Structure formats: C-alpha cells, structure tokens
Structure 1
C-alpha cells in the first residue's frame, strides 16, 4: 500500500466551512427571502419603531416597514454591486495587466506609471465625481429612450461601473507580475517559435494559467466593493430611496439613535450582517489563496 500523503492547507477547516455556509445562507436569503416575506419592502404601517417580535422578527423602522424584509432586499443590492463591480474590475485589470506584462519594456513602464498615478488619487472622491458627472446624462438617455422604469436603478448601474473602475489597479498589478514570469516559460517560447500571434499566446497559453490567482483576488475584491458601496450609501451618495442597501440601512439606524429613544435593532442587525458577510468573503478568499498556492502542494 502506498503511504497516504496529506497536503498542507488542502482541506477546509471549521472556520472556512462556517464562512462558506454563512455566505451561502446569506446569498439564498437575499435572493429568495423577499419573495417569501409577508411584507413588501415599501409597505408602511402604523407600527413605527416596533421592537423585534414574532410578527416582525427584526422590528420595524421609523415608517413601520419590516426591517427583515428591507435587510434582505438591501443585501441583494449590496451583493449585486459587489459582484458586478468586482467583475468590471476583473475585466479591466486582467486585460490591462496582461497587456502591460507581455509588452514589457517602455510600454510596461509607462502603463505601470499610470497605475501608480491612479493609486495616488483618493478613490472614493473619484467615484463621487464620476457618479456626479454621469448620472444626469444617463437619466436623460433613459428618458429619451422611454425607459423611465429604469430610472430608480440608474445610480446602482453607475455604482457597478464606478467602483469597478477604481478597484482594478491591484488586479492589474497581480496579473502583470504573473505574466512577466509566464512569458519566459518554455511552452510560451515554443508557441512563439511556432508562429503564434501575441494575442493567441495571451489567450491560449498565458490567460489559462492566471485563472487561479485571478479567482483569489476576485474573491477578495468583492468585499472591498461591498464596503465601498455601503460607505457611499451611508453618506447618501449611493443607492437612492426607496431602494435600500446595507449602507442606507446603517444610515437609517444611525439617525434613529437619540437620547430619547434608541432603536438598537436598526443598527445592530444591518451592521452585523455586513460584518459577517465581509468576514465570510475574506475568509474564503484567504483559504482559496492557500489552496492555489504552489508552495502548499
């Protein structure tokens, strides 16, 4: 019998399993929870600031709206912004980093100097300016095309693009450093000798070897985008009412705290879900990085 070999870091530990189960539960709850709820996200009642009870498991807000339903709808929007913003970051960063690394020389130095310049800019201010510049033209375009039903989602679409445009810098650096190593590999040199075009080498020989590291940093980019969206929504610059996100719910909870009466549930439940989601995503990203690390094989 061959002796069994245990590879370090190849199995899920208890914390990683808990993170995976928590994230799966939150995703399923955000997708299907509002459909199964007895309340709608905009349903106003006379039970203003009601404490958690069997009829309202997480209480109600100042307008009598069920907090659990709003929390699930807000988590859905935050997840959408996080995943699509990370996807935009993946597309831009991978293409930029792969081109810079394979081109090399002066082109590489010029492109990386541009990345360093963008790193020096305050990202959130850039996002705010980008949203302010593009929101009015986007709304005019939707009205001109008679797509007025999409007007409430125009800010969400801009958040996809704006946060993706500022989060691709790290992805570009990571991809570029890996391409610099791969382009000197023997199989890439053989493809070059056989007459493969640079685009064909990048597409068929280099990019498949980047999937592991790209998947890791994509997992780590999602919580960064969610946190940035929550911060912008907390400041009133993100998702617009009546839509809600975790950031807008936190802002409502902060406004409900006063010396006369403290509606603690409006702050505890949204902040708890946001913190737990960010922890689960970061824990899964760290474990995925360990699993795909060649030194652990």
Structure 2
C-alpha cells in the first residue's frame, strides 16, 4: 500500500472541486439558477469549450493525487519483520498512467517523432570516431532501419490510431442518436437527420463534434506515443508533451485558487463600501486606489522574493523538494488573489450603491432589520451573478499572468512544470541554429487551448447571467395585408 502525500495545492484543489459540486447541487435545486445554466448549456461554443475544460480539470485532478510507492523488501523471509520503507520520490496518478513517456529520457534534444538526436556527437563507427547524429535510446528504438522503416511505421500507426478514434466516435454518435430517437419516439434515420442538422433542444451536434476530435487525437497519441516522442524532447531529454500535460495542473491551480483567494476581500470591501458609504467608502476606495497605483508585477515579485527567502531559511519545514515547490505555488496563487481584488470590489461597490436605494432594501430598514441581515439576505444574493461572471472571466487572465511571471523568473519554482517555465526555457532555443521550435509550440498550443476554452465558456456565462449582455434577435414582423391581398386570398 503506498503512502499518500497531501500537498497544499492538492487540498486546495480538492476543496475547490467540492465547492463546485455543492454549487451545482444548489443550482439544480434553484429554479432561477437552473434555468440560467440551461441557457449556458444551450450555447454550442460553451458546450464545446466546457468539454475541453472538463478534460483539463480531469488531468489536473489525476495529477493532484500524490503518493510515495512502497519499496520492496530485500529479503522475502524478513519482509514481515522489517519496517515498511517508502520511496523518496513522490508520484501522482497521472505519472503512473504516463509512466512510459515519463521514464523515456533521452540525452538531449530530439525532433517530434524523431529517431535520432537533434545535435551531433562523437560516436564510434567501425572502430573510428566520427561526428554523427546518434540513435535515441527510446524514440523509434523498435525500428531496425530508421531511414527505411520510419515513414511506413508512422503512417501505419497513425492510421490505426485514427481508425480506433473514428470507431469510438461513430459509436458515440450512434448511441446519442438512438437515445434521442427513443425519447422522441422517432426512427433512427429521422433522429440522426435531426441531430446532424442541429434541430435538438441542446447542442448535441457541437458536443459530439468536439468529442470526436478529442477521440481522434487521443487515438493518434495512444498509437504513437509508446514508440516515439510525439512532440520531441527538451535539452535534458525529457518528453515535451509529457511536460505540457503536467503543466496543466499548475495552470488550473493558479487560475482557480487565485480566483478563490480574490473573492473574500473583494466581496467584503465592495459590499461594505457600497452599503455604509461615508468614511467607510472613502477608506476602502483609498485602499484599493493605492493598491492599483502600484505596478502589479513589481508587487507580486516582491512577495515572491519574500516567500523564497522564507523557504530558503527554513528547509527543515519541507521533507522533499516537491513539497517546497508546492508551497511556493500555493503562496503564489494566494498572492495573485490578494493583489487582484480591486477590480471586483469596484464593481460590487457600484452595484451595492444601486441596490441600497431600491424599495425592498428600504422596507427592510424600516422594519428594523439589522445591517448584517440586509447585506446577507438582500444585498449579497443579488451580487452573486457579478461574482460568478468575474470569477470565470478572471481565470484566463490569471493563467496568462502566471506564464508572464514565470517568463521573467518570479513565478513558480523552476522544478515545477508550467507553461511559463517552458516558454522561458524556449527563449534561448529560438536563437539556436537550427531552431528548437517544438518546446515553445507545445506550451503555447496547450496554453492557448485552455485560455480560449475558458474565454468562450465565460462569454456564455456572462451572456446568461448578465441581462445587459444578452443579445436578442429582432424578429421581422410580416408586412400588413392590403385590402386587395385580402380579397385575392378569399377568392
């Protein structure tokens, strides 16, 4: 039995997932919230983006279950008496699932789907030292003659993987078609026609196309990744695609935890400033005006340097290097949240000022309801749509912010996989000749996919929750019927 390790970010992510589950249950029981989220789910782009985000969150969750494997006993006879020993290396469920790419470490750079090293080395050929590109230890090692067998092998495995993904996609389309036809009491052909043309209550077509693309991609990777480095290797020989997938957890933790850390201060100060007005409003406005006047990069850099000094001076507080890097990641997310509450506080203050003048709030004051009761029962529930909109919108910005901070060297620990760290490492690679482009392209593609998916989903959430952002279609009225037209129709 392995020894489970609970990191700070693991517990934070688990708490966030539990909170999301509680909110989903509350929204399902609330008629107004349920109807609003149904409007979100009827948006095709939101459904497609939500499925991609669900995949990213699944990867982050698998990468957040950490444990230390149990070491085998040296002597089977003394195994029962010997104390249990565990490895000093901490792994996650994602590491176990992707153990092949994780352990397939080369000497240095290699191109995507390559069989030889990217740079020349002195190798011994027929008793002579020559400069050549040596074979990779893992990439394409099953090939006898890479120059002859590489292209047919890649094409054959790609076709097999794409065919498996296509079969899984066809089975999924058939299952959804059968289910929709059964609910509508239609034959299979009519149900498929209705699904193909998008004549359904929910955007099943968009969801199925998104899942089909994901299944094709997963099938292609499953066929090639055990035999090749699909996106090449970096300077230390590690698989670039594996590092990009490991960086998903860092982006999810930064985006979700920093957003969660922003909400308490923003809600507290925004509601207090808008409700009490006067000197309370002046003090809070002065506070977030001063905070906004300080360049955020400099402020966050100062906090990160203080955190790093504390970690360096207290090494006995951390058992492993992973725990030390995780504490820095956790505190970086908290710092991003603490320094980024001013914008949401301004919005909540303005909305609270408007709500405080409405009749139901004035009636509550007249009946002697306390200030805390009015804010809890009447003000805060009417502000939650703004909180939801801003929280979803800020996620993308925080993911990009982490990439910028890691690029300038004040982000996560260098040993932590992140998109910013990969992009920072690619700065020198882009100046090489020939250019090592795959590290930057992989990190950029994953980051853009995550940010774009969250942006599309947040746009649908904003449109559903904010009445002012909804786009209403103007239906053209039929032209009025003239007397001659009416007479001709009667005849």
Aligned to 2:394: 221
Aligned to 1:277: 450
Q: Does 1:16 align with 2:46?
A: yes
The 3-state SS of whatever aligns with 1:52 is coil
Q: Distance between the aligned counterparts of 1:201 and 1:40, measured in 2?
A: 57
Aligned to 1:3: none
Shift of 1:162: 1.4
RMSD: 2.4
Q: Does 1:153 align with 2:316?
A: no
Q: Distance between the aligned counterparts of 1:26 and 1:115, measured in 2?
A: 34
Higher relative contact order (CA 8 A, sep 6+): 1
Aligned to 2:106: 46
Shift of 1:89: 0.9
The structure with the greater share of residues assigned to helix is: 1
C-alpha change, 1:40 and 1:160, in structure 2 (3 Å) is: farther
Q: Decide whether the 8 Å contact of 1:92 with 1:168 is kept in 2.
A: yes
The TM-score with structure 2 as length reference comes to 0.55
Aligned to 2:98: 37
Q: Which runs of 5+ in 1 are unaligned?
A: 1-6
Q: Deviations over 1:144-189 (max 9, x none)?
A: xx44333222321221121112211111011111111112222222
The TM-score with structure 1 as length reference comes to 0.88
The 3-state SS of whatever aligns with 1:148 is coil
C-alpha change, 1:259 and 1:61, in structure 2 (3 Å) is: closer
Q: Distance between the aligned counterparts of 1:215 and 1:134, measured in 2?
A: 30
Shift of 1:10: 3.9
C-alpha change, 1:40 and 1:154, in structure 2 (3 Å) is: farther
1:252-263 matches, cutoff 5 A = 252-263=425-436
Count of residue correspondences: 287
Aligned to 2:296: 123
Shift of 1:274: 1.0
Mean Cα displacement is larger for which, 148-157 or 240-249?
148-157
Bigger-Rg structure (1/2): 2
Aligned to 2:477: none
Aligned to 2:346: 173
Q: Distance between the aligned counterparts of 1:35 and 1:290, measured in 2?
A: 41
Q: Deviations over 1:97-141 (max 9, x none)?
A: 011111112321332132222222110110001122233235545
1:71-90 matches, cutoff 5 A = 71-90=244-263
